[in-house]
Amino acid sequence: MTRIIGGRFGGRTISAPKGSSTRPTSDRVREALFSRLDAWEAVAGERVLDLYAGSGALGLEAASRGAIRVDFVEADQGAARVIRANLAALREVSGSVQVASVRTFAGRAGAEPAGLIFADPPYPLREADLGADLAALALGGHLAPEALLVIERSTRSPEPTWPAGVELVDQRRYGETSLWFARRAPAEPLVGSPL
């Protein structure tokens, strides 16, 4: 069992998929991550994407702390069922579960852009595939202006390849886990155009 650390659902437990390659973010790492995000005022009022969602712990933590909507993207059917059960248990979370690969989801139109994106891919996912997934997400219009991306990887992994217009702002290590924080740069006005 995993628990929600803070916010209105703080202390509630959520289920994690059994027998899958899901690797839930530890309580310690989630606590550090959300302390940083709360200090940046990056959660409350935001639309959130939880990519490679697993149990949905990151997205549910964001909902507990005031995110207005969380959309979970998970390719594994069993993990998606666990996320749906966790959503049903909490009842008050606005969001959806998309059973698809990140790249397939990125190619779908219609979703409003998110201001906060979590990506906690399986550690064996190749860096080139992660970079392609992130690029597809940006090209698909899923990143709001100045969106914040948080990528969780092994400390042995290199810095992710960011989509065009997204720049690294911070990186933290917690044991074997690295958190990479990047922000989409606001669009520059065209020279001579009215502001």
Domain of 50, CATH number, reads: 3.40.50.150
Is residue 142 included in any domain, yes or no?
yes
Is residue 193 included in any domain, yes or no?
no
This prediction has a pTM of 0.91
CA distances from 82 to 4, 74, 150, 164 (A): 15, 11, 22, 34
Is residue 52 included in any domain, yes or no?
yes
What's the sign of the alpha-carbon dihedral 31, 81, 23, 167? negative
More reliable by pLDDT, 55 or 19: 55
For the chain, what percent of residues have pLDDT higher than 90?
Answer: 80
pLDDT in the model for residue 194:
43
Phi and psi at residue 23, in whole multiples of 5°?
-125, 90
Give the number of domains in the chain.
1
pLDDT in the model for residue 31:
94
Nearest to 72 by CA among 92, 90, 52, 93: 52
Residue 189 has pLDDT above 70, yes or no: no
Domain extent at residue 72: 2-184
pLDDT in the model for residue 67:
97
| Per-residue pLDDT tens digits for 157-179 | 999 999 999 999 999 999 999 99
Is residue 192 included in any domain, yes or no?
no
Average pLDDT, the chain: 91
For the chain, what percent of residues have pLDDT higher than 70?
Answer: 93
Residue 187 has pLDDT above 70, yes or no: no
pLDDT in the model for residue 21:
58
Q: Which helix (H) or strand (E) holds 169?
A: strand 166-174
pLDDT in the model for residue 193:
41
